[in-house]
Amino acid sequence: RNYFDEEGAQAIYESKALTSLKTLIIKEGVDEDAGLVNYSRPELLRPDDPNAI
Residue 14 is predicted with a pLDDT of: 81
Domain extents in the chain: 6-52
pLDDT for 16 equals 75
Output the pTM of the full model: 0.29
pLDDT in tens, 12-43: 778 777 767 677 676 665 555 566 655 666 66
Give pLDDT, residue 9. 75
CB count in 10 Å sphere of residue 8:
13
